[in-house]
A and B are shown apart, each in its own frame.
Chain A
Amino acid sequence: MTYPTNPITSMELILPNELGYELIARDAVAAFAWRLGVPIDRIDDLKTALCEACINAIEHGNSLKPDLHVEILCRVEDECLVIEVCDEGVRPFAPKAEPLSIVEKLAGMGSLRGMGLMLISQLCDESGFVSRDDVGNCFRLAFQRHRAASLGCSSNPGSHVSV
Chain B
Amino acid sequence: MDKHDDTSREPVEKIIELRLPSKLGYERVAMDTASSLARRMGFHDDRVESLKTAVSEAVTNAIEHGNQQDSAMKVVVLLTARDDELIISVADQGRKILDQDDTTSSPHIADVLEKFDKGGWGIWLIRELMDEVEFTTAPSGGNQVRMVIHLEQ
Partners in one complex: yes
Q: Nearest-CB distance from B90 to chain A (Å)?
A: 15
CB <8 Å contact, B36 and A28: yes
Is B33 an interface residue, CB under 8 A from the partner?
yes
Report whether B32 and A30 are in contact in the complex, using a CB–CB cutoff of 8 Å: yes
B residues in contact with A21, CB < 8 Å: 14, 16
- Number of A-B residue pairs, CB cutoff 8 Å, is 79
Q: How far is the CA of A31 from the CA of B35 in the complex (A)?
A: 12
Query: 1/0 per residue B27-55: CB within 8 Å of A?
Result: 01101110111001000000000000000
Using a Cβ–Cβ cut-off of 8 Å, how many residues does chain B contribute to the interface with A? 30
Q: Is B111 part of the binding interface, using a Cβ–Cβ cutoff of 8 Å?
A: no
* Contact call A11/B18, Cβ cutoff below 8 A: yes
Q: Which of B14, B28, B71 contacts A31 (CB 8 A)?
A: B28
Given contacts A7-B72, A27-B36, contact A16 B21 (CB under 8 A): no
Name B33's closest neighbour in chain A (CB-CB).
A28
Contact A11 B16 (CB under 8 A): no
User: How far is it, in angstroms, between the C-alpha of A20 and the C-alpha of B28 when the chains are bound?
Assistant: 21
Interface string of A1-41 (1 = CB under 8 A from B): 00000011111111110101101101110111011000000
* Contact-size category for A: 20 to 34
A67 lies within 8 A of B33 (CB): no
Q: Are A24 and B2 in contact (CB under 8 A)?
A: no
B113 at the interface (CB under 8 A from A): no
Q: Is the CB of A67 within 8 A of B71?
A: no
- Nearest CB in chain A: distance from B17 CB, A: 4
Q: What does DSSP make chain A's interface, helix, strand, loop or mixed?
A: mixed
Residue B96 is within 8 A (CB to CB) of chain A in the complex: no
Asked if A65 lies at the interface with its beta carbon under 8 angstroms from chain B, I say yes
Query: Is B140 among interface residues, defined by CB-CB distance under 8 A?
Result: no
Which residues on the B side are within 8 Å of A87 (C-beta)? none
The stretch among B4-12, B101-109, B126-134 that forms the contact with chain A is B4-12
Give Cα distance in the complex from A13 to B20, angstroms: 9
* A residues in contact with B112, CB < 8 Å: none
Min distance, Cβ B81 to any Cβ of chain A, angstroms: 9
Question: In the complex, are the beta carbons of A20 and B40 less than 8 A apart?
Answer: yes
* Residues of chain B lying within 8 A (CB to CB) of residue A100: none
Point out residues on A near B: beta carbons under 8 Å: 7-16, 18, 20-21, 23-24, 26-28, 30-32, 34-35, 64-69, 88
- 10 other A-B residue contacts (CB within 8 Å) besides A31-B28, A31-B32, A66-B11: A8-B21, A8-B23, A8-B72, A10-B21, A12-B18, A12-B19, A14-B18, A16-B15, A35-B26, A66-B10
